[in-house]
Amino acid sequence: MKSSILITGGAGFIGANFVPYFLEKYKEYQLINLDKLTYAGDLANLSEIEENHSRYTFIEGDICDRVLIEELFNKYDIKGVIHFAAESHVDNSITGPEAFIQTNVNGTFTLIDVARKYWMNAPFEYKEEYKNCRFHHISTDEVYGTLGDTGLFTEETPYAPNSPYSASKASSDMIVRSYFHTYGMNVVTTNCSNNYGPKQHKEKLIPTIIRKALTSEPIPIYGDGKNIRDWLYVLDHCKGIDLVYHKGKEGETYNIGGRNERDNLYIVDKICTLLDVKQPLKGGKSYKELITFVKDRPGHDQRYAIDATKLETELGWKADEDFESGIVKTIDWYLEEYR
């Protein structure tokens, strides 16, 4: 019989890149994709999966709905969870933090607590047949707070979240950690840097730059544009998750990052330069003329950078794309999408 894995948030950016990759690679898995289809989820992101695929089921629902989650565990005999579902946009967490606490904190708690009860007999013991069932929690490097000009986040860096988004993710990481230490549950957590690539919601930085450029609108850049992020092509993140899900040590956390630190000015400049060649503006103008600096985001972290040594040395992960190759693929995808 095929093993059923519950994927949450599979209609969002990273989940919708992960699900087709995982479905294709592991023919022995049945994937159950649970997604609430908030503004950030879109089934069109999964249109490459054939209708009535025999190993794929989509369920519209909320990770906070305990009755539904219990039903899913019983109906599909869930043997693993890969948990992407979250409210994920920092700006939205500033204007409306409540949904972040609800989904990211309460939702993660509900999910892992149902998994514990389903997989374990008594509070501290696994049922024999569920010993290898794993709960993989997907998290962010934003839980570590901000860096100065030097240094990198390692798995030992103390948590210091600065936005309601990162605080809610930090809380969910701690809940997952506690289920390992208290109940001996087989959990792993991955903390990844900023992703980019196909299917990202239009509100995020790189899709915004491309979209505004192509519609000749001002391209907004926060503050002085000097904030630095460590950019990772989304499929490299998916491959890292795959490795950790299958080979990571239980109870451990793994940082995932591509060693591609770039500031926002570099990103916008690079995208405009590539677009100037791929889709030139009339009159020899450059898309760079559309760049507009706007008031900075409150509590805007200055710099994030990941040390992925643990994942690289223990599990042999390496990013296939650097920023220069990944951004070309990304722009080509959006040019096709917006055509």
Q: Which residues in this chain contact ligand NAD in the complex, by CB under 6 A?
A: 8-9, 11-15, 34-38, 40-41, 62-64, 84-88, 103, 107, 138-140, 169, 192, 194-195, 201
Q: Residue 15 or 258: which CB sits closer to ligand NAD?
A: 15
Q: Residue 41 or 258: which CB sits closer to ligand NAD?
A: 41
| 245 flagged as catalytic | no
> How far is residue 87 from each of residues 40, 79, 83, 178, 305, measured CA to CA in Å?
8, 25, 12, 22, 22
Comparing C-alpha atoms, which of 314, 308, 211, 215 is closest to residue 268?
211
CA dihedral 121, 123, 126, 128 (to 10 degrees): -30
Comparing C-alpha atoms, which of 160, 200, 196 is closest to residue 40?
200
* Distance between CA atoms of residues 109 and 101, nearest Å: 11
**8 A C-beta contact, residue 112 and residue 63:** no
> Least distance in Å: CB of 14 to ligand NAD?
4
Choice among 56, 165, 196, 287 that is catalytic: 165
Comparing every residue's Cβ against ligand NAD, the nearest one is 12
* Distance between CA atoms of residues 261 and 14, nearest Å: 20
**8 A C-beta contact, residue 297 and residue 181:** no
> Least distance in Å: CB of 53 to ligand NAD?
18
Q: Residue 55 or 201: which CB sits closer to ligand NAD?
A: 201
Q: Residue 219 or 257: which CB sits closer to ligand NAD?
A: 257
Choice among 87, 142, 230, 269 that is catalytic: 142
> Least distance in Å: CB of 304 to ligand NAD?
10
| 196 flagged as catalytic | no
Choice among 35, 62, 87, 141 that is catalytic: 141
147: helix, strand or coil: coil
> Least distance in Å: CB of 254 to ligand NAD?
12
| 165 flagged as catalytic | yes
- In the numeric block, which tokens belong to residue 232? 């990772």
Active-site residue list:
141-142, 165
